Amino acid sequence: MATPVPVLRLPKGPDPNSRGFDPNSPRFIALCRTSISSSAASDSDSEQLQKEQDARSVLREGFLRCLLSMTNKKVQFQMYENVKVEATFGASDIDVLNFQVSDLHTPIGVQKEALIRCQDVISFTFDV
């Protein structure tokens, strides 16, 4: 009587809450391109490439300084589905995937501590 080949576990099925493509997987981290790809992908105008890189640096530095100055301030987030919420900004994670906030005012109450998923945010404003 042949015995069936043992297995360590069954294959993992889909996550009912997300479409997958885990941004924390090694493959994603290694391969995912930045959201705005370089214009000079094929041709090689090195001067133009340098200018573009300088502009990227300026924008990136500006963005990081913005995040720093937002700490502990009240920020209004404009999100999809016409959602506007206000919260006190705490910090961002390294890949800017989540914002840690406190006292998040939502239509169903105030959440003491929360994580806001960055891909859901359209824009945010605050007073410097």
- Interface with other proteins, residue 12, by CB under 8 A: yes
- Our CB check for other proteins shows the closer of 17 and 123 to be 17
Question: C-beta of 98: minimal distance to other proteins in Å?
Answer: 17
The SS3 call for residue 89 is: strand
**81 dihedral zone (left: phi>0; alpha: psi -120 to 50; beta):** left
What letters, b where the CB count within 10 A reaches 16 and e where it falls short, cover 60-69? eeeeeeeeee
| Nearest residue to 67 (alpha-carbon basis) of 29, 93, 87, 102 | 93
Interacting positions 19-38 with other proteins (CB under 8 A): 19-23, 25-28, 31-32
Interacting positions 39-68 with other proteins (CB under 8 A): 42
Interacting positions 57-116 with other proteins (CB under 8 A): none
Summarize as ranges the residues that interact with other proteins (CB under 8 A).
Answer: 2-15, 19-23, 25-28, 31-32, 42
